[in-house]
A = this chain, B = another copy of it.
Amino acid sequence: MRARVLVRLKPSILDAQGVTVKRALAGLGFSEVQDVRVGKVVDVELDGLGPDEARRRVDEMCARLLCNPVIETFTVELLTDTR
Protein backbone atom coordinates (compact mmCIF):
# COMPACT_ATOMS: atom_id res chain seq x y z
CA MET A 1 0.00 0.00 0.00
CA ARG A 2 1.30 3.42 -0.86
CA ALA A 3 0.07 6.73 0.46
CA ARG A 4 0.74 9.98 -1.23
CA VAL A 5 0.72 12.89 1.17
CA LEU A 6 0.58 16.38 -0.25
CA VAL A 7 1.68 19.06 2.19
CA ARG A 8 1.03 22.61 1.13
CA LEU A 9 1.30 26.02 2.68
CA LYS A 10 -2.02 27.38 3.82
CA PRO A 11 -3.59 29.61 1.17
CA SER A 12 -3.32 32.61 3.46
CA ILE A 13 0.45 32.33 3.67
CA LEU A 14 2.77 33.97 1.20
CA ASP A 15 4.69 31.35 -0.74
CA ALA A 16 7.95 33.08 -1.55
CA GLN A 17 9.20 30.13 -3.53
CA GLY A 18 6.01 30.01 -5.58
CA VAL A 19 6.31 33.70 -6.34
CA THR A 20 9.89 33.24 -7.50
CA VAL A 21 9.00 30.27 -9.68
CA LYS A 22 6.13 32.17 -11.24
CA ARG A 23 8.40 35.07 -12.03
CA ALA A 24 11.00 32.76 -13.52
CA LEU A 25 8.35 31.07 -15.66
CA ALA A 26 7.14 34.43 -16.89
CA GLY A 27 10.73 35.28 -17.77
CA LEU A 28 10.89 32.14 -19.87
CA GLY A 29 7.78 33.19 -21.77
CA PHE A 30 5.13 31.28 -19.84
CA SER A 31 2.88 34.27 -19.49
CA GLU A 32 -0.23 32.11 -19.18
CA VAL A 33 0.76 31.16 -15.65
CA GLN A 34 -1.51 32.89 -13.16
CA ASP A 35 -0.22 31.45 -9.94
CA VAL A 36 2.31 28.96 -8.63
CA ARG A 37 2.41 27.28 -5.23
CA VAL A 38 5.18 24.96 -4.16
CA GLY A 39 4.58 22.25 -1.61
CA LYS A 40 5.85 18.82 -0.69
CA VAL A 41 4.85 15.37 -1.74
CA VAL A 42 5.69 12.61 0.72
CA ASP A 43 5.32 9.11 -0.66
CA VAL A 44 4.90 6.63 2.16
CA GLU A 45 5.11 2.88 1.54
CA LEU A 46 3.17 0.94 4.17
CA ASP A 47 3.09 -2.68 5.07
CA GLY A 48 0.24 -4.97 6.01
CA LEU A 49 -2.56 -2.49 6.64
CA GLY A 50 -6.05 -2.36 5.15
CA PRO A 51 -7.13 0.91 3.50
CA ASP A 52 -9.05 2.30 6.48
CA GLU A 53 -6.33 1.52 8.93
CA ALA A 54 -3.72 2.86 6.53
CA ARG A 55 -5.52 6.14 6.15
CA ARG A 56 -5.89 6.47 9.89
CA ARG A 57 -2.22 5.85 10.41
CA VAL A 58 -1.10 8.22 7.69
CA ASP A 59 -3.36 10.94 9.05
CA GLU A 60 -1.66 10.40 12.36
CA MET A 61 1.79 10.67 10.78
CA CYS A 62 0.77 13.96 9.27
CA ALA A 63 -0.51 15.26 12.57
CA ARG A 64 2.57 14.17 14.44
CA LEU A 65 5.35 14.93 11.98
CA LEU A 66 4.72 15.44 8.29
CA CYS A 67 2.67 18.61 8.52
CA ASN A 68 3.02 21.72 10.65
CA PRO A 69 -0.55 22.92 11.14
CA VAL A 70 0.58 26.44 11.92
CA ILE A 71 1.51 26.99 8.31
CA GLU A 72 0.53 23.89 6.36
CA THR A 73 -2.37 21.70 5.35
CA PHE A 74 -2.23 18.17 4.02
CA THR A 75 -4.20 15.75 1.89
CA VAL A 76 -3.72 12.01 1.80
CA GLU A 77 -4.32 9.82 -1.24
CA LEU A 78 -4.11 6.07 -0.95
CA LEU A 79 -2.82 4.21 -3.95
CA THR A 80 -3.22 0.49 -3.98
CA ASP A 81 0.06 -1.01 -4.93
CA THR A 82 0.25 -2.25 -8.48
CA ARG A 83 3.80 -3.50 -8.50
Give chain A's interface residues, CB within 8 Å of chain B: 6, 8, 18, 21, 24-25, 28, 30, 32-49, 57, 60-61, 64-66
Contact = CB atoms under 8 A, between A and B. Distances in A.
Contact of A57 (B32, B39, B60): B32
A40 B41 contact: yes
Contacts of A24: 65
B43 A37 contact: yes
Given A48-B32, A49-B32, A8 B43 contact: yes
Given A21-B65, A24-B65, A39 B40 contact: yes
B42 A8 contact: no
9 contacts: A8-B41, A18-B42, A21-B42, A25-B61, A30-B61, A32-B46, A32-B48, A32-B49, A34-B47
